Amino acid sequence: MLDHNELTPKRIVKELDKYIVGQDEAKKAVAIALRNRWRRQRVEPELQNEIVPNNIIMIGPTGVGKTEIARRLSKLANAPFIKVEASKFTEVGYVGRDVESMVRELMALAINQVNEQMLEEVQIDAHKKAREIVLDKLITPIAPKISDESEEDYQERLERYNRSRSKMETMLDEGKLDQRQIDVEVKDVPKKPQIEVFSNTGMDMIDLDLQDMLGNLMNKGSKQKKKTFFVKEALNYFQDIEAQRLVKKELVVEKAKDLVENQGIIFIDEIDKIASTDKKSSADVSRSGVQRDLLPIVEGSNVPTKHGIIKTDHILFIAAGAFHVAKPSDLIPELQGRFPIRVELNSLTAQDFEKILTYPENSLTKQYIALFKTEKVNLSFTKEAIKRIAYYAFKANEKMEDIGARRLHTILNKLMETYLFEMPTSKYKNVKIDEDLVNSVISNVVENEDLSRYIL
């Protein structure tokens, strides 16, 4: 994980280049937006609140890297990130306030993120406490000095106990006691009933944590019962319990709230679906309504959640859409003004597909090589094979809908189908994907338009 001081725009772009091919303008825009957050937090306090985020609209067809850029950006910054579909807010029974659910979901995600980080930080202390508890189970703690016991006898008894405990500690640390069994008192919590709430406004309007409420009720009636653990399992069990005790819930919520308000990223996909092209139709009236409900969230407002009020003033919003029919100018002027930066992402060329198959750290070819390795099969691709796969992906996108890099998934899946089905088998030890193989499997499918529509 990079330190925030090291996340300069050039470094951010360099990191994004490891996973995303091309789209330099989009990478540059998000890199500047991310760095500006860091800069804002170092400005004089009275000016900090005046500096608004550089919200971005990405324009481009599906599968060219819009979501991936935003997702990788959030990972780089270790920021809470959520993706929502703008079109879901146009469903039947839609109520305007539902747009606030994106902020609630972001807060819930941030709490999980912070809780995991804080649990990780206390693992050493939790392990020490767990170790002491397990040792007390293995060797009964020394009884206090009794009234008719001399000091000398007590000291002798204490020394014997310390020697025994020290030996037990050494055996525990060396793993010699892992298979020994001990009895542990655990809470017997009744199974929580499953409850479904049907509401045209959705659960977001209620915002009740039924699970917490039920959990508290169930815990009141829970009883202790004995359970037998191996020592190693008991150590892990007590370590988890002690770690939970060491992490204060109030501190988790406080940190998560700060993280959401100052570093949160909300990615609004398919924003073109709520752009109004024909102002007279009822559907377009509905779309304008959704935009007006989104506006205060993007503009900066206070959203009530069960963890308190969340201010959205400094959350970074990244919107994306293909804009095949509608244009960004079809959005209401107020919403356009809240997305001052627009970047266009280009359709992918055959050369881009070649790079996507080989350059990124998580490229599809590397993924398949790893999958084959689990079956003890060595998979390799020739350069010519990579070129042909890229060519067929490009041609398929030209002939049908342009789904960008996702076309590579369908083509590679078709290419690997036989091997994936037959493995494990002694028939395959080394599999080389060459140009002839690609042509024989994929050529007919791409050239035959009817076939390609159903298979690719």
Q: What angle do helix axes 151-173 and 123-138 make, rounded to 10 degrees?
A: 120
Position 218 pLDDT exceeds 60: no
CA–CA separation, 322 and 116 (whole Å): 36
Q: Concatenated DSSP letters for 45-90? A: HHHHTT-----EEEE--TTSSHHHHHHHHHHHHT--EEEEEGGGGG
DSSP 8-state class, residue 272:
G
Position 189 pLDDT exceeds 60: no
- Most confidently predicted of 399-408, 412-421, 445-454: 412-421
| pLDDT tens track for 105-121 | 999 999 999 999 999 99
DSSP 8-state class, residue 223:
E
- Residue 82 near residue 106, CB atoms below 8 Å: yes
- Residue 111 near residue 256, CB atoms below 8 Å: yes
CA–CA separation, 224 and 209 (whole Å): 26
Q: How far is CA 424 from CA 224, 282, 283, 375, in A?
A: 47, 57, 53, 6
- Residue 252 near residue 243, CB atoms below 8 Å: no
CA–CA separation, 409 and 398 (whole Å): 16
Q: What is the pLDDT of residue 208?
A: 47
Model confidence at 209, in pLDDT bands (50, 70, 90)?
A: low
Pairing of strands 265-269, 316-321: parallel
CA–CA separation, 79 and 256 (whole Å): 10
Q: What is the pLDDT of residue 309?
A: 92
Of all residues in the chain, the percent with pLDDT exceeding 90 is 32
Q: What is the pLDDT of residue 339?
A: 92
CA–CA separation, 144 and 341 (whole Å): 72
Q: Which two tokens stand for residue 452?
A: 């390609």
Average pLDDT score over residue span 65-82: 89
Q: What is the pLDDT of residue 162?
A: 86
Q: Which residues contact 344 (CB under 8 A, 6 or more apart)?
A: 25, 58, 59, 60
CA–CA separation, 278 and 31 (whole Å): 36
Q: Which two tokens stand for residue 385?
A: 């094979």
| pLDDT tens track for 385-411 | 999 999 988 988 888 878 888 889 988
The domains found in the chain, sorted by start residue, are 4-115+258-344 (3.40.50.300), 123-246 (no CATH), 350-446 (1.10.8.60)
State the Rg of the chain over Cα: 29
